[in-house]
Each structure stands twice: as structure tokens, then as C-alpha cells.
Structure 1
Amino acid sequence: MADEGPQGTKRDFLFLATGAGLAVGAGAVAWPFVASMAPDAATVAAGAPLDVDLSPIQDGQIVNVFWRGKLIFVRKLTEKEVTDMKAVPLSEMIDPAAFDTRVKKGHDQWLVSYGNCTHLGCVPIGHSGNYEGWSCPCHGSQFDAVGRVRRGPAPTNLPIPPYAFESDTKIKIGEEGGKAVA
């Protein structure tokens, strides 16, 4: 009976070691199959482009969409907003930008911009503030209808993401000139 103690301990160790070895081996065999199901690194880095149907958006309406985890504002400007925004002198802006640099040529009724304040990343509220655009409820930055910062601590305009018009009623965010942006 005295011999059973050490033998039982050796046997338990052998079962445990064999089981652990088999588990590691099974993991090593399964790993390539599991890894093959993950998206390609280039796909993850580039982010899939996002199609946005513009046809249901009314004049003056702002639609929020998400691309690559970022909030994007898509706004259909009214004729009055287009006229007013073109007339704003660059000297009145914190980060001067002409109207034509904020919209695509031939589609000047559409603004597509990132939707976070450039001060601390808050989400500005649409159709508020003194400039027909957005105002940030946290620190008071105000943006006009084409996302140019006009008042407050925000240092720069709302950035414009890469996008392209596929037709008069469809844009693809994440592409520029028909080519995917990485």
C-alpha cells in the first residue's frame, strides 16, 4: 500500500500531462482554420465604403450615418442656405474656408462632414446656434450650415470625409473619385 501513493501520483501526472499535450495540439491544428475566418488586414484598415441613398433627404434635413465607427452628417442645404453660405466673408471665420471647398462641384446643395466638434469631440446639435448650422452643447462652439467653425473654442472646421457621388441620389463614403480610400 505504501507503493500505491507514489504510483498514483505518477499516474495522475501522466494523465494530466497527456491531456494538456492533446489540448495544445488540438489548438495548434485548429488555429489556422479559425484565423482564416478573420477579415484580411487590408480590409480592416480600409473600412468598407458606405452607400448613402440621398433621395429621401428633404431640403434642410440632416441625416446621421456611421462610417468606420465615426459619426457623419449628411445635410441637404436649402437654396437660401447655399446663397447665404457663399456670401460669408472669409474674414469672419476662425478657420477660413470658401464654400466651394466644403461641397463637391455640381452638388453644392450637399454637405458631408464628420459629426464631432473639433474642440473635444462632442456631438454638435443640428439646426441650432447663430449660423444656420450646429452648436456644441458642451463648450459653445458654433458651426455654420457647411460645417465651418464660427464661434467658440473649436479650432477647425468639421472635417470632410472622403466621398464620391455615384449618381445624383447616391454617395459612397470611403471613396474619392471612384477609388476606395485606405
Structure 2
Amino acid sequence: MVDNSLEKKYNKLIIAVSIVVPLVVAILFGVKLKDFGFDVEPLSFLPPIYATTNGFTAVLLVAAVIAIKNGNRKLHERLMTTAISLSVAFLVMYVAYHMTADSTKFGGEGTIKYVYFFILFTHIVLSIAIIPMVLITYVRALAKNFDKHKKIARITFPIWLYVAVTGVVVYLMISPYYVN
């Protein structure tokens, strides 16, 4: 049975989270703990960890699609919940790193610089857009509104996969320029 009240119940929360998370990330991205007198070392060990987290998220997304296509709804649900958890963990690590370290400038030149900035720009824009899409998709599944869930999941999946994969690509492209 479809539970439309559950979707309605979460709509305001989805809208709030979809606005607040990017705003808070943008604000915290500009906050440096050392500017507030905190003597903290840069969390320079985090970028390869959060890039790996993005990689695992991509693998889980593909595995979840395979699971549902094979009729394994429980496995699909667990994989998707884990993918969401990894995405949240990524976000926390990403913000923590940028609150303790200066931004790394991409050092490539020529065509590769334009490729990097294109990938980075699309990654950032789509990482903001994917927040409400993932939440709506997830809530529709919780509400057992599987027809609507499937419709949006077909759009959400490739965008989320792109964001996860390009997170790894951006890291690999900028990693030679990190200062240790």
C-alpha cells in the first residue's frame, strides 16, 4: 500500500535539508579554524579517504541496481542506505579537511586545466542537485510508492553515480598538487 502521507510529511524536511546543507557547506568551506585561534594541524590524511569513500559509494550504487534488477529488494535497500551513509561521511570529512587546510590550487596547464575545471564544476553543481533527488527517491521507497520511486531513481542513479565517480577523478587530478 502506498503511503502518500509519509511523502508529504517529509517534503518540508527534504526542502530544508536541500537548502541548508549546501549553504552550511559553503559557509564552513570558508571558515578556517586557525582564524579563530584554534591550533589545529591540517587534516591532510582525509582527501584520499574521502575520495575512496566516493569510490565505494559508486560501487554500492551499481551493486544496488544489480540487486534490485535481480529482485533482491532487501539487499538493494541496505546498499542504498549504506551509500547514503557514505555520502554523509564524505561530506563531514570534506568540510573538516577544508576547515583545517587551505584550498589546493590545480597546477595543470593547457587543455587538462579546462577538463579539470569542467569536471569540478559539473561535480559541484550536480552534488547540490542530487541532495533532494536522493532524499525524494529514498522517501518514496520508504512510503512503498515504488512506481514513483522507480521513475525518479532512473534519473537519480546516473547523476549520483556521476557525482561519486567525478569525486574520485577530481581527487586524482588535484592530488599531485597537495602540499604535505
TM-score scaled by structure 2? 0.21
Q: Which has the larger radius of gyration?
A: 1
Structure with greater helix percent: 2
Higher relative contact order (CA 8 A, sep 6+): 2
TM value normalised by structure 1: 0.21
